[in-house]
Homo-oligomer: A and B are copies of this chain.
Amino acid sequence: MPVNEDLRRERARATFDVKQLTHMLDGGSDRTARRRQLQAIIERDPTGIFSNDDNAYLHRTDRHVRGLAKHVRMVELCRTLGIGDKYDGQVVMDPDFPVLLAALADDLPTALHWIMFVPNIVSLCDEEQQRAWLPLCRDWKMIGCYAQTELGHGSNVRALETTATFVSEDQDGTKGGSFVINSPTITSAKFWPGTLGRTANHAMVIARLIDGHGKDQGMHNFLVPLRSMKDHKLLPGVKSGDIGPKIGYNVMDNGFAQFDNVKIPRRNMAMRFAHVDERGRYSKKSVSAAASKISYITMMQVRAHICNEAGKNLAVACTIVTRYSALRRQGYASDGESELQILDYKQQQHRVFPLIAASYCFFFTGKRVMEQLKDIEDKLVSNKSISKAAVTDIHASSSALKSFTTTVAADGIEDCRKACGGHGFLQCSGLPELITTYLQSPTVEGDNQMLPQQVVKVLLKLVQTVQDDGDLSDYVSCDSYGLISSLQSNLKGVKEDCRIVSEIDVMNLDALLAALCHRSARLLVGVASQIQGSISSGKSYQEAWNDALVEMARVSRAYSQFLLLRNFMEGIDGEERSGAIGVAEVTVLQNLARLFALYWMEKELGDFLEDGYVTADHSRWVRSAVLQLLDCIRTDAVSLVDARDFSDFKLKSALGRYDGDVYPAILKAALRDPLNHSDPGPGYEQHLKRLIAGGTGTYKATVSRL
């Protein structure tokens, strides 16, 4: 196909090898090849069911139904292709599976089955339970969801109200005893679980366990059948349905469920770590340290995944806006005749390029955190000791990173949409659904506004240890280890000098990293002393904590930026060392790393000026370095987004097309709208006609006056 002239020119001037970055992002050229192969299978599937062309015109109901059809077809394809065969038929365990999902470029109503339900069985159920349930999951006869949140409680999990009360065989004759699940109040209705509304026939329900002695043993997981596996009818005592339309993610049937004395076998409680016997006696099981931490690691892995996904979603938006900005011409050049590519406006670059930088940055951090987790897992499995510090450290990092990266991605995608001007407001630009669906990420898996408390809780321990001159050896391989030297200076009142001493230093990545480190440590000590100060002035701990929440958000953001830059720098080094990329690629990636750091410094300069770490001179240097970097990156902008190798099928965007033929694509999309299927439009005959032809709006008093 002929490619738009502007885009062709942009591509021709790349200073690096696009393929190398593509392979790096995929994790090797073989994985690039496999990804493309799987994409082709989806995109060219003869049933046509995977087409996303009509998405924006369908009613929600039809979108959902089509989503189910896609799921069924995907399962069929997996069976045909042998995906999952190496994993005993468990399609969802196959590394090809997420690649296939990404290739669909659409949500599936079944998603929580593999995101939460199956992993829960694997990590929290004992072997016998797994043997009973996993084959049903594998064969897609048992389709499950994860039902934790209730109408009244999300973040405060300890306050969930659903109960699971033990009933012994004596009491009701069920062999081996049972649990009765109840939703005692309206606020205790399970509300939000994905896949619950219309799709799942089972739920992993988080409920308050009341044991045989009537004692509340806190939250546990229970496998609750919701619908008959024969005819999908609701089982007695279960009331359930979809929760209604949302700002995005509308293919998914997030659901509600109310339980009225729903009886389940005793052995439907997940029993790997706790147990209730036939007489209703509760006990915790003693398991290896490894086993007990595995489920925790799973949660961390989800966070690392979210971080990587933040980068990918942002990259989709960046691809669309960058390509479009390269071919959109608006505003006269100095000749007064030709028009400029909007990508040449500094302010458009200032909006978009730092987001390209962030999308690459998040990739390296996602990868790094995964590696760290793998390392911990390996140690656990081989029974090597892991310090508590190491485990809480990664909890802090992943909390900070989840909060920051999803905030940047959500704000960034929306800013890309705005940067497309009016056409970004169109569904056919692909950006509206991208952003509205992505907007769940700042809220789920730990609300972004609340996570900083977790981060600070952990980091304050480190501050305490440093202050007490305590033993720091446990921290050696920790992320927060990097802060120690700055913390020491700060706590001892020793002034840290900025390592940017002349204008050229502002491009020095180590100096920038030192600045981000200094700021994190300073703000962290600030929070510690704010809390101490409040308490000394007579406030309760809770009040003091509450007063410090705003500052905690600053600390968490600062800490994330420090980690992200470090991981970016080390990630580039690693790829270079492994030979995955060459000098040209290293250069362009390092410029992105510089821009990432300097952009955020520019945006939050007050944090660096406040204690005199940087001066007015530095501020000028920072601003001018940002402009210089925008110039550098301008040359490679289109190629940097091309390197993600998103297909047009994946982008679903009239503006982001690889060939740049946007205007006919926009018009074509317009004509598809059902509003255009008749002429005059569907509201004329019944309504509009009454005014235009019927005289309903005629002003009667006028006849004489005119």
Contacts and interface: CB of A to CB of B under 8 A. Distances in A.
Given A192-B422, A241-B676, A242-B676, 5 more contacts: A57-B245, A64-B682, A350-B549, A414-B414, A605-B610
Interface in A232-251: 232-234, 241-249
Interface string A95-115: 000000000000001000000
Interface in A658-700: 663-664, 666-667, 669-676, 679-684, 686-693, 695-700
A374 interface: no
Contact of A683 (B68, B186, B541, B706): B68
Contact of A616 (B153, B610, B666, B689): B610
A674 B607 CA distance: 51
A607 B442 CA distance: 29
Contact of A75 (B65, B332, B696): B696
A327 to B, nearest CB: 11
A76 B332 contact: no
A626 B551 CA distance: 12
Interface stretch (A134-142, A386-394, A491-499): A134-142
A138 to B, nearest CB: 6
A292 to B, nearest CB: 25
B553 A347 contact: yes
A339 interface: yes
B670 A243 contact: yes
Interface residues of A, number: 159
Interface in A121-154: 135, 138-141, 143, 149, 151-154
B230 A687 contact: no
A56 interface: yes
27 contacts: A69-B686, A72-B688, A72-B691, A72-B696, A89-B701, A135-B706, A140-B698, A141-B695, A143-B691, A151-B663, A154-B330, A156-B332, A199-B681, A231-B680, A241-B679, A243-B673, A244-B669, A247-B427, A247-B431, A247-B435, A256-B670, A344-B546, A345-B546, A350-B549, A418-B448, A418-B449, A610-B616
A549 B663 contact: no
Given A244-B672, A547-B346, A616-B610, A691 B189 contact: no
Nearest to A553: B347
A244 B330 CA distance: 23
Interface in A542-575: 542, 546-553
Contacts of A553: 347
A432 interface: yes
Interface string A413-454: 010011101101111100110011001101110011100000
A59 B59 contact: yes
A565 to B, nearest CB: 19
Contacts of A339: 156, 159
A382 interface: no
B692 A229 contact: yes
Number of identical protomers: 2
A584 interface: no
A213 B429 CA distance: 42
B69 A683 contact: yes
A61 B671 CA distance: 14
Contact of A199 (B151, B186, B440, B688): B688
A182 interface: no
Contacts of A444: 422
A432 B245 CA distance: 10
Contacts of A372: none
Contacts of A69: 683, 686-687
Nearest to A131: B706
A525 to B, nearest CB: 14
B627 A616 contact: no
Nearest to A549: B347
Interface string A176-200: 0000000000110101100001110
Nearest to A435: B247
B421 A154 contact: yes
A284 interface: no
A706 B136 CA distance: 12
Given A345-B549, A696-B75, A158 B332 contact: yes
A439 B67 CA distance: 28
A606 interface: yes
Nearest to A342: B155
Given A153-B330, A680-B232, A706-B135, A201 B606 contact: no
B233 A679 contact: yes
Contacts of A606: 604-609, 619
A369 to B, nearest CB: 24
B619 A612 contact: no
A88 B705 contact: yes
Contacts of A684: 198, 232
Contacts of A197: 675-676, 681
